[in-house]
Amino acid sequence: MSTPVHAPNPQLAVIPPEAAAKASLLRRVLRNPLALGSLLFLAVIIVSAVAAPLLAPHNPNTADISAVLSSPDSGHLLGTDGAGRDVLSRLLFGAQFSLAGALLALVTSIVIGVTGGLLAGYYGKWIDTASTWVISMLMALPAIIVLLAARAVVGPSLWASMLIFGVMLSPAFFRLVYASVSAVRNELYVDAARVSGLSDTRIIGIHILTVVRAPIVVQSAIVGGVALAVQSGLEFLGLGDINVPTWGQMLSDGFTNLYTAPLLIIWPALAIGLTLISLTLLANSLRDELERSNAPRRRRRKQPAEQPAVVGEEVMRHDDGGLAGEAVLRIENLSVGYETGDGGTKRVVHDVSLTVARGEVHGLVGESGSGKTQTAWSALRLLPEGGRITGGSIFFHGDDLAALNEKDMEKIRGSRIAYIPQEPMSNLDPSFTIGSQLVEPMRICLRMSKKEATTRALALLARVGIPNPERTFAAYPHQVSGGMAQRVLIAGAISCNPDLLIADEPTTALDVTVQAEVLDLLRDLQSEFRMAVILVTHNFGVVADLCDRVSVMRLGRIVETGPTRSIFAYPRHPYTRELLGAILGETSPRGPLATFDAGPSASPSRKGALR
């Protein structure tokens, strides 16, 4: 065999680069008006905090006994407070001290949390155990109580309390960094970097810090807000240093004079509230952007690929004697689309038609993104969020499922159309026993009593070849192997005597020897219950083993359809031929190495250039 002769090779066409791929996070966030507004507000606050000595008309601490609680006038633009101090000046200096205090707490927590998280996450072992202990202790302490206790020791100091609070806040960063580092540490690309000879510091610098950088920025906005809130709370309690003007103190003063001068409380409340809201909005939009840009990192297997609108070419149909029995399912010109973010629809299945007769296994075969799974889910009317049938009909015993309401569809699912998924483990609810997951549908679909359903479930488990049905019935999904779990799912699918079985890659996740057993089981059950079966697979061996008919799908369309033997013997569509040509089974083995010791003698000179 050689590489298929099709030119140009479709796999070598580079996918166009995503526009957003390299634009900086900040630039993207600025496109969001809420985030931009928050950022502008914060900038104003910071500038006025820094320039407070220049802007403030009065000394914030100079009390004018003659002008206590005076209303706004030209001398005092926002009036004076309960001690006759200028409110505007205090607001400006308050910004300076409140923000500086919050910043101190933030920096302290970042330094402790990030270093601790990096060390514990990357090196693990005793550093991990020790720091996890310290962190859980810190998290079990109510911050306010600790700050109050600290005040008993060091007296009322804004800086001391913010330093201590910074330590109390460090778990926020520790946990974030720790989680990302332990996740990244096991990524294959870090293994690859180790094998490439990179040192630990280089790996942390290149591969690990880049991953946690952006989340740290988001967390900083949140933690900064928490620090400001708690600081204001403490000062509000009257526990602050009276010589350091802060917003919290102004709030406290306003609260004392709530009845006489209700305006006094408005200014600091607005300053604190708006700053905190801005920080939260900023953090939220940063996080949203981050999630968006990280989303396509890992390909989700079932994510439908965009299908170019190829002009519909004729489906190559192999002639045969027609259907062997009555048609159970008849799909006509089915189209499936997904909503895109901008209100459009992305089509993933185009104009698909197929018929499955009673007692017949119809294979849907194709590569990833060919639309075979989407077609199968459409027949169950269980497309993922955003997906819908955009055209065509799905006739099941004469009823058009595409037009049925959800309530009627619920009556058909399980009792008349059943489904076997691909991944055995993720398709069982981990929180319930296997037995209860088998009994529940039977009680709904077959209206059985709990006892009847249990008896039947045990019989089914025995039927699908589970050695100890009682034990498996009582077990939780994580206690059984993948092969056993797949048998359980098969038992569940046939539990309500369906007419049509939709099996989506039912053996792909299994080992070869287990796959062979499960294929045997499916064949036996299919002939025993005379079900119609749609079998979605990418494996031609499975098709050859089980299917009576097969439809080859490519880019959301069926390109060729007919009896299995005929397709294997006389493939007509070039794509079918390419797929069959890529199968390794027919090729001859490579044989032993011809020249036994060509390598070692050649190697020193070959490698010399790089050393």
For the segment 501-530, give every residue that binds other proteins (CB under 8 A): 511-513, 515-516, 519-520
Cβ nearer to other proteins, comparing 58 with 396 = 396
Q: How many CB atoms lie within 10 A of CB 185?
A: 17
- Out of 414, 435, 469, 556, the residue judged to bind other proteins by CB under 8 A: 414
Q: Which of 529, 441, 431 is nearest to 489 (CA)?
A: 441
The sign one gets for the Cα dihedral 577, 578, 579, 582 is positive
| b/e code 479-493 from CB counts within 10 Å (16+ = b) | ebeebbbbbbbbbbb
CA distances from 67 to 63, 72, 251, 262, 374 (A): 9, 11, 19, 17, 76
Task: Give the integer Cα–Cα distance in Å for 252 and 257.
Answer: 9
**Per-residue contact string for residues 457-496; x = within reach of other proteins by CB under 8 A:** -------------------x-xx--x------x--xx-xx
Tell me the closest approach of the beta carbon of residue 65 to other proteins, in angstroms: 26
Restricting to residues 54-93, name those near other proteins by CB under 8 A: none
542 binds other proteins (CB under 8 A): yes
Task: Give the integer Cα–Cα distance in Å for 256 and 270.
Answer: 17
* Residue 70 Cα to chain centre, angstroms: 57
Cβ nearer to other proteins, comparing 50 with 290 = 290
- Out of 72, 205, 325, 599, the residue judged to bind other proteins by CB under 8 A: 599
Tell me the closest approach of the beta carbon of residue 251 to other proteins, in angstroms: 7
Tell me the closest approach of the beta carbon of residue 160 to other proteins, in angstroms: 10
Task: Give the integer Cα–Cα distance in Å for 369 and 307.
Answer: 8
Tell me the closest approach of the beta carbon of residue 105 to other proteins, in angstroms: 15
Task: Give the integer Cα–Cα distance in Å for 7 and 257.
Answer: 84
Restricting to residues 178-237, name those near other proteins by CB under 8 A: 187-189, 191-200, 202, 206-207, 210-211, 225, 229-230, 232-233, 236-237
φ/ψ of residue 139, rounded to 5: -75, -20
Restricting to residues 556-585, name those near other proteins by CB under 8 A: 564-565, 568, 578-585
**Per-residue contact string for residues 230-269; x = within reach of other proteins by CB under 8 A:** x-xx--xx-x-----------x---x--x---x--x---x
Q: Is-contact 268 250, C-beta < 8 A? A: yes
Restricting to residues 313-372, name those near other proteins by CB under 8 A: 367-368
How far is the first Cα of the chain from the last one, in angstroms, to the nearest whole number? 38
Both tokens of residue 325? 């029995």
- Out of 5, 7, 15, 54, the residue judged to bind other proteins by CB under 8 A: 15
Restricting to residues 86-125, name those near other proteins by CB under 8 A: none
φ/ψ of residue 150, rounded to 5: -65, -35
Tell me the closest approach of the beta carbon of residue 58 to other proteins, in angstroms: 26
Assign 477 to helix, strand or coil.
helix
Tell me the closest approach of the beta carbon of residue 53 to other proteins, in angstroms: 28
| Binding segment toward other proteins, per CB under 8 A, in 311-319, 326-334, 457-465, 586-594 | 586-594
